[in-house]
Amino acid sequence: MRHPAADINGTLPTNRSLNTGIAPSCPGCGSIGISRIGSIPDAFEFAGRKLDTPLPGGSLYRCRVCTLHWRHPQPDKRELDALYRQGDAASWQYHPVRRQDWQIAMAIIRKNDGLHSVLDVGCFDGRFLDHLGTDYRRAGIEVHPRAAEHAASKGIQIVGRDFSDLETLPTPFDVVVAMDVIEHVGNPKEFLGSLAKATRPGGLIIVSTGNTAAWSWRLMRGMYWYCSIAEHLSFINPQWCKLISHELGLEITDLETFSHEPAKPSATFLQASANLFYRCLPNLAYGLRRFHALRKGLACRPSFRTPPHWRSARDHLLVAFRVPLRDGAHDLHCTDARVSLEVSRPAS
């Protein structure tokens, strides 16, 4: 079904409503000690669907206290919901063997004894849980109705549609996974806290996402491919994971970096060279790409202004957090964390 805000062609209206606060503070810790990293290119598609008007990229910011990175401004929740409902389902489908994070997560789950129930937050069509196998009680949270139906047909219990459903699950799970999800939320710390509430004491939370500490990202700054994807709002790194796990009373048991799409050396070299070219001479890179397209009789796309995706870069991380065995530990640690961040916040 088309979203009510969409026109007859299924495109969204042009009067985009953006949260355009003047001086953004950190969405995670509230600090005003922030740095602007660079401009993010405008986006011409969202969730695999072409937009009638581009979404302004805004800027990439970094918190000097908790190291969280985020884009600002961001579409508001109403517009994000509308954009996601119109998303092309094919853009989220992957072959399990090609997903490095799925392989690492499965190895972590299988090597730990006593893990019997697994909740996949943002499970889409249940492909990860299906691949994990029927030795586990498998459940998912998924907002896309058709994808949730597919997951249910594979024997996966759908226990919620929205991240807010994490707060009201009747029984906690041994493992809660959220792979390529945390970058879609506005407040990753709050999200990680919700994942912890859905995990039993002694259980594991497994998160995978982009890594702002990767050298390729630090080189390309705001024009990096991962933050130019319009659905991606927030970005973390190992330092953030260590700080926030301490604040939430979680223990990091595994932290691995990997490439989203490993490629042959020749393709890796081409992606790296193209990105370096854009970094040093963006107008010349755009001009050459445009010239190349015109020579081949192809349309000149506005996305030529953006560097090509550098998917072979080792710019992703997967982190496994263990929830402590002590009852009530989360609340105590969260309270302590708020106090410590207040104290360490730089003066304005």
Q: Alpha helix (H) ranges present in 87-137?
A: 100-111, 127-132
Q: Which letter, b or e, does each residue of 27-56 get, where b requires 16 or more Cβ atoms within 10 Å of its Cβ?
A: bbbebebbeebeebbbbbbbbeeebeebbb
Nearest-approach distance from CB 23 to Zn ion, in angstroms: 14
65 binds Zn ion (CB under 5 A): yes
31 scored as a contact of Zn ion (CB under 5 A) = yes
The neighbour count for residue 329, using CB atoms within 10 Å, is 16
Considering only 26, 169, 185, 214, the residue that binds Zn ion (CB under 5 A) is 26
Cα-Cα-Cα-Cα torsion 344, 192, 37, 29, nearest 10 degrees, comes to -30
Closest CB 100 distance from Zn ion, rounded Å = 28
Which of 37, 40, 43, 63 is the binder for Zn ion (CB under 5 A)? 63
Binding range to Zn ion, per CB under 5 A, among 29-37, 199-207, 271-279, 293-301: 29-37
Torsion of CA 125, 127, 122, 195, to 10 degrees: 150
Query: Least separation, in Å, of the C-beta of 251 and Zn ion?
Result: 21
Number of chain residues interacting with Zn ion (CB under 5 A): 8
- Shortest Å distance, C-beta 153 to Zn ion: 41
Strand locations in the chain, DSSP E? Answer: 18-19, 34-39, 43-46, 49-55, 59-63, 69-72, 74-75, 117-121, 137-141, 157-160, 173-179, 199-210, 234-235, 251-258, 316-322
Among 12, 40, 51, 66, the residue binding Zn ion under the rule CB under 5 A is 66
The least CB distance from residue 148 to Zn ion, in Å, is: 33
Whether 158 and 125 have beta carbons less than 8 Å apart is answered as no
Q: Binding string to Zn ion for residues 315 to 344, with x set by CB under 5 A, is what?
A: ------------------------------
Residue from 29, 169, 220, 313 touching Zn ion (CB under 5 A): that is 29
Q: Judged by CB, which is closer to Zn ion: 27, or 56?
A: 27
Point out which residues bind Zn ion (CB under 5 A).
Answer: 26, 28-29, 31, 63, 65-66, 68
